[in-house]
Amino acid sequence: MNPSAGSGPVAVAGSPGAAPGTSPGPVPAPVPDDAWALLTDWLPADDDPDRPQITLSTVDPDGGPDARTVLLSSFDRDGFAFHTDAASRKAAQLEADPRVAVTVLWPGFTRQIVVRGVAARADDDRIARAYRARSPYLQQLAWLNSHDFAALPLDERRARWAAFEREHPDGFEQPTGWTGFVVRPTRLTFWTSAPDTASRRREWSLGPDGWAHAYRAG
C-alpha cells in the first residue's frame, strides 16, 4: 500500500509554498446564511449513504486543467470534503496548487452547483469518519485501487479482489495512504433550469469586504 502522505495543510494561493505565479485570493470564510440555506435544501445530509457525485477540477503542473468525478463525503459552512489515495494525481496537484473547482450536476440538467475555492488537507478525525461511512466495496477499493492492480488482466483482478475480501471477513481497516481534502469556497454559483423562461444563476463571491450576492444570466 502507498505510504501515507504528510498531514500538514496545503498552502493557499499567495502564501509561502503556493504554486509559482498564483496571486493572493480572498481568505475563505464560512458560507453566508442564504447560500447555506440553498446548499442544505439541494444537497443530501451527510448521514445519507447515497453520496453525490461531483466533478473535481484541479490545476496540473503545467498550468493546464484536469478533472475527474469523486464522491462528496460531507459538507458544512466551512467547506466541502472528499477523500482519495494520497498517492493519486489529484492529491499531488492539490499539494502543488490548492486552487480548485467542484461541480455538482443534477439528472436531466435541472440544477447545478459550482464551487470555486482553495483546498486543504482534512484533519485525521474527519478522514477516519469518512472511511467508516464508506461502503465495504469502497473501503476495499481504497486498498486495491493501484496502478499495478489496474495493469493486471481482468481474471486476475477478479481473483485478487475475491481473495482479499476472503482474507478480511471482519471488514477493512483504513489504509495509511487514504486521505481527504476540504474545499473552502470563495465563490458559490447555483444554476437552475427553467423550461418556460431563461435559466439563471445565483452567485455568492467572496471579496475583501465579505460575501457579495448577484443574479447572473444562465
Beta carbons within 8 Å of 52's beta carbon, 6+ residues apart: 43, 44, 71, 72, 104
Other C-beta atoms lying within 10 Å of the C-beta of residue 45 = 8
Residue type, 74: S
Q: What pLDDT does 171 receive?
A: 94
C-alpha cell at 86: 494520497
Rg (CA), the chain: 19
Mean pLDDT in residue range 144-167:
96
Sign of the Cα torsion 165, 170, 174, 180 reads positive
CATH code for the domain defined by 33-134+176-217: 2.30.110.10
pTM: 0.84
**Does residue 166 register a pLDDT over 60?**
yes
- 86 with 179: CB under 8 angstroms? yes
How many CB atoms are closer than 10 A to CB 48?
Answer: 9
Tens-place pLDDT, residues 178-218: 999 999 999 999 999 999 999 999 999 999 999 999 999 98
DSSP string of 55-121, one letter each residue:
EEEEE-TTS-EEEEEEE--EEETTEEEEEEETTSHHHHHHHH--EEEEEEE-GGG-EEEEEEEEEEE
Strands (E) in 131-199, as ranges, are 178-192
User: What is the average per-residue pLDDT within 6-16?
Assistant: 35
Per-residue confidence (pLDDT) for residue 6, from 0 to 100? 34
Task: Round the average pLDDT of the chain to a whole number and report it.
Answer: 89
Burial class of residue 29 (count of CB atoms within 10 Å of its CB; 0-12, 13-18, 19+): middle
pLDDT tens readout for residues 12-35: 333 334 454 555 467 788 999 999
Largest Cα–Cα distance of the chain, in whole Å? 58
Amino acid at 164: F
Task: Tell me the per-residue pLDDT of 67-118, one tens digit each, with 9 for 90 and over.
Answer: 999 999 999 999 999 999 999 999 999 999 999 999 999 999 999 999 999 9
The length of the chain in residues reads 218
